[in-house]
Structures are given as C-alpha cells and as structure tokens.
A and B are shown apart, each in its own frame.
Chain A
Amino acid sequence: SQQGEEDPQALSIQEGENATMNCSYKTSINNLQWYRQNSGRGLVHLILIRSNEREKHSGRLRVTLDTSKKSSSLLITASRAADTASYFCATLNTGNQFYFGTGTSLTVIP
C-alpha cells in the first residue's frame, strides 16, 4: 500500500501544551498536505509543503518535511480545546495520486 502512517494514533494533551504528530510515507512525492477532520465531517485543508521545502509555518502550525526519511511532522503550538480533531497527512505522488495516512486523533483537555 502507498498509504502513509501517522503516529501516534491517539494523543491527549492539556490546553496550552504543544502537540506533535508524525507522518511517514512510501513513495516519491510532489507535495505533502495536512488536513483536519472533526468527527463525522469533511476534511479541512491546513497546510501544504512542497517536496523541495523543509519547513513551513502557518499561524500556530509548523510543518517539517524530510524527503530522505520520507517523513513529515505537524506541530500545533499553544493548543486549544477547539483543536480536538483527527489530523491526516496526505501525499501527492509523482503520478498525481493522493494518498492519506491513517490519522492521529488529538484530544485537547481544557
């Protein structure tokens, strides 16, 4: 399977703490994107990082990409209860196919 893997599968932190989740993938990619999904809802695009980029920031989000290790991380700083959701990484490979990881379920405790 070309699907990526996220870890941890579940993460529970206190409000105000930072949350880090990791994603590994298997094929060469054009870009990697992170999405957020509230329970039973659609996927909301958070951030895109191109294969030639190593780090990207957007508000409280920081994404890194290491193509040599085929891995990426998403850091959410100063977490809020409203950040509680599932987070998925998705890779766009060189065949323009888009594959999702298995997701990290984040719970932020107020």
Chain B
Amino acid sequence: DAGVTQSPTHLIKTRGQQVTLRCSPKSGHDTVSWYQQALGQGPQFIFQYYEEEERQRGNFPDRFSGHQFPNYSSELNVNALLLGDSALYLCASSLLGHTASGNTIYFGEGSWLTVV
C-alpha cells in the first residue's frame, strides 16, 4: 500500500520564478492538503482539494494555487517566488468521507524548496 508520495524532493529556484510541486495521495484517499513548513516552525495550512476543487484555504496569497486531478493526485504551484517562500512543502492525504472524528491525516516526505 503506497503512502503519500511527493516530487521533487529538493529543488532550487530563483526569485520571480514559478514552481510546481506534485503529490500522490495514499491509496484509497480522496482529499489532498498542502502545508508550508518554514525552518523551526510548525506546518502552516495552505489549502485543501477534494473532488478537484479547492475546498478550504489558509492565509496564503493568490500566488499559491493548486490543482487536483481525477486520480486524486495534486499539484501546488507558486508564482513570482520570494525568498520567504523557501520552506518544506508537505502534502497530506485523507478520506473526506470518513467519519471526521476518525479522520487520520497522512503526510509525504515533503519537497524542499530553496529560493535564491
């Protein structure tokens, strides 16, 4: 049973560039959420996708956008990169239809983004 997989694991971009990160959820899961984790901080919720639509969004600018495909995989896009976007980007999957009280969230290993 494959867990949550993310790619790439590491990448370096220049200020102003655009980046796309990819995530495949755990088998059987239909909901993907993205988190940004700066060094020494807890993960911050970016947004959540379910049924190919953005369902919820955290306090992130429109430069952060995403997409979910029919196979439940997802992409996170960040435009006009800033130095402050350097972080570990984590993808999490869950089953939205599952009882909320038992809804376990599983995380991938993350994508390290460095903006120079």
Q: Indicate which residue in A40, A48, A99, A103 contacts B102 across the interface (CB closer than 8 Å).
A: A48
What is the CB-to-nearest-CB distance from B9 to chain A, in angstroms, rounded to a whole number? 10
In the bound complex, how far is the Cα of B100 from the Cα of A52, in angstroms? 12
Partner among B44, B88, B103 whose Cβ is within 8 Å of the Cβ of A31: B103
Which residues from A are CB-within-8-Å of B48? 97
Contact A43 B90 (CB under 8 A): yes
Closest to B104 in A: A48
Give the residues in chain A near B43, CB-CB below 8 Å.
Answer: 43, 88, 100
CA distance A52 to B112 in the complex (A): 37
A41 at the interface (CB under 8 A from B): yes
The answer to whether B103 touches A92 (Cβ under 8 A) is: yes
Contact A42 B101, beta carbon cutoff 8 Å: no
User: Is the pair A35, B100 in contact by a Cβ cutoff of 8 Å?
Assistant: no
In this complex, the interface size class of chain A, counting residues with CB under 8 Å from chain B, is: 20 to 34
List B23-65 residues whose CB lies under 8 Å from chain A. Answer: 33, 35, 41-45, 48, 56
CA of A56 to CA of B17, assembled, Å: 47
Is there an interface contact between B105 and A45, defined as CB atoms closer than 8 Å? Answer: yes
Chain B CB within 8 A of A71 CB: no
Q: In the complex the two chains form, what is the Cα distance from A95 to B33 in whole Å? A: 14
In the assembled complex, the CB of B105 is this many whole angstroms from the nearest CB of chain A, namely 6
* Cβ < 8 Å to A, chain B residues 97-116: 100-110, 112
Tell me the complex Cα distance, A90–B103, Å: 12
Minimum distance in angstroms from A82 CB to a CB of chain B: 18
Residues in B whose Cβ lies below 8 Å from that of A64:
none
A77 within 8 A of B: no
Given contacts A30-B101, A42-B90, A42-B107, contact A101 B45 (CB under 8 A): no
**Do A40 and B45 touch (CB < 8 A)?**
no
A-B contact pairs, 20 of them (CB 8 A): A3-B44, A30-B100, A31-B102, A31-B103, A33-B104, A33-B105, A41-B109, A41-B110, A42-B4, A42-B110, A43-B43, A45-B104, A45-B107, A52-B101, A98-B33, A98-B92, A98-B105, A100-B35, A100-B43, A100-B44
**7 closest residue pairs by CB, A with B:** A42-B109, A100-B42, A43-B107, A30-B100, A50-B101, A30-B101, A100-B43
